[in-house]
Amino acid sequence: MIAMLVRRIIQAVLVMLVVAFISFSLFQFVGDPINNMVGQEATQQDRAELRERLGLNDPIPVQFMRFVGNAVQGEFGISYRMARPVSEVIAERLPATLELALVSGVLAITLGIVLGVYTALRRDGWFSHFIMSSSLIGVSLPTFLIGILLIYIFSVELQWLPSFGRGDTVPITDNWSTGLLTVSGWQSLILPAITLGLFQLTLLMRLVRAEMLEVLRTDYIKFARARGIRQRSINFHHALKNTLLPVITIAGLQLGSIIAFAIITETVFQWPGVGLLFINAIRFVDIPFMSAYLLLIALVFVVINLVVDLLYFVVDPRLRVTKSSSSR
C-alpha cells in the first residue's frame, strides 16, 4: 500500500516536471524578453546588465531549476498584460472556474449514473430509447454550439436566464467570492453548467449503461438470481457496485477535462474564470500566464488521477494487498 502510494507520487512528480519543462520552453521560443522590457534608447550595455540581473545568461538547466523552484512556491512572475503577479490573478479568477466545473461535474456524474442505470434496466422502454437517441446529440454536438443554442432559447427567446457573466457574488474568504449563495449567481450558472457538462453526462451515461448490461450478464448475477436475492438488491447492490468500478476512472478523467475545457464554455458565456483569462492571454502572448495555466491544469489532472488510483484501492478489494491466505 505505502510502496504503491510512493510509486504513484513519484510518477506524478515526474509528469509535473515534464510539463514544467514544456512551460519553461515557452519562454525560450517566444523571442527575447529583454526586447519587451527595455525602451528603444537602451544601450547594448543596459541590455547586458539587465540580462545578467535576470539570470538569463545562466545555463539553461540552472534557469529551469530556478523556474521550478519559483513555481513550487506559487511564483510565476508578472503577467505581461495585466502587470500584476500571475499567481494573484489566477487566485482571483480560479473560484469562478472551480464552481462552474464542480456544478457541471456533479450534474454529469449523478445524471449520468442515474440515466445509465435506468436505460440498462429498462432496456426496451420507450423512455430509454428516447434518452439513448437524444444522448447522441450530446455526444456529437460541439460545446460552443450547445452553449449558443441554449443562450438563444433560454436567454434570447424565453428570457428566463442571463446569457453572460456570473451574477452577484458573495465573498467567503479574502480571495474567494462565491456565486453559489445568490439567486442570480445560480441563474447565471445553470446554462454554462449544462453546456460544460452535457458531453460528459452523455458519455458517462452510455458508459454506465454498457457496463451495467455487461455486469447483468455475468455468472455471479445469475447465481444471485438463482439464490432468490431480491431484484432490487441485485440491481442496486450487486450489479451497480461492480458497474461503478471502471466508471470511477473515466469520471475522474472527465472531471479533469471539465476544468481544462471550461475555456470554451467560459468564452461563450463570458464567464469570468481562468479559462477566459487564458484565451485573452493567448491573444496578447502573455507567456507567464500561459505557462502558469498549463502547469495548473497539469496539476489538476495529476491530482485527480492520484485520487482515482487511491479510490480504486478503497473500492476494489482485489487490489488490496492482504495476508495471502489461499488454500485448497
Partner 1 sequence: MSDVLLSVRDLVVEFPKRKTLLTALDGVSFDIHRGEILGVVGESGAGKSLTGAAIIGLLEQPGRIASGEIWLEDQRIDQLPYEKMRQLRGKRIAMIFQDPLTSLNPIFTIAEQLVETIRTHLPLNAKQARERAIQLLDEVGIPAAAKRVDDYPHQFSGGMRQRVVIALALAGEPELIIADEPTTALDVSVQAQIIDVLKRMCADHGAAVMLVTHDMGVIAEACDRVAVMYAGRVAEIGQVRQIVKQPQHPYTQGLMGSIPSLAHQRHRLIQIPGSMPRLDAIPTGCAFNPRCTSVGERCYKERPDLLVTNQGEVACWLFDQGGVA
Return the residue of 38, 132, 141, 224 that touches partner 1, per CB under 8 A.
224
Q: Is 317 in the site for partner 1 (CB under 8 A)?
A: yes
- For residue 178, list its beta bridge partners: 170
Question: Hey, which residues between 183 and 202 contact partner 1 (CB under 8 A)?
Answer: none
Query: CB 226 → partner 1: shortest distance, Å?
Result: 4
Choose between 201 and 239: whose C-beta lies nearer to partner 1.
239
What separation in angstroms does the CA of 23 have from each of 117, 124, 162, 262? 42, 51, 36, 20
Query: CB 219 → partner 1: shortest distance, Å?
Result: 4
Residue 143 CB partners (closer than 8 Å, separation 6+)? 195, 196, 198, 199, 261, 264, 265, 268
Return the residue of 245, 253, 285, 299 that touches partner 1, per CB under 8 A.
245
Q: Is 236 in the site for partner 1 (CB under 8 A)?
A: no
CA-wise closest residue to 81 among 299, 278, 295: 278
Q: Is 280 in the site for partner 1 (CB under 8 A)?
A: no
Q: Is 238 in the site for partner 1 (CB under 8 A)?
A: yes
CA-wise closest residue to 94 among 264, 284, 292, 255: 292
Identify which range of 14-22, 33-41, 179-187, 215-223 contacts partner 1 by CB under 8 A: 215-223
CA-wise closest residue to 106 among 261, 251, 238, 231: 251
The two beta strands, 170-173 and 176-178, are: antiparallel
Identify which range of 27-35, 147-155, 240-248, 258-266 contacts partner 1 by CB under 8 A: 240-248
Identify which range of 93-101, 201-209, 217-225, 295-303 contacts partner 1 by CB under 8 A: 217-225
Exposed (0-12), middle (13-18) or buried (19+): which is 7, by Cβ within 10 Å?
exposed
Residues that bind partner 1 (CB under 8 A): 218-220, 222-231, 233, 238, 241-242, 245, 315-318, 322, 324-328
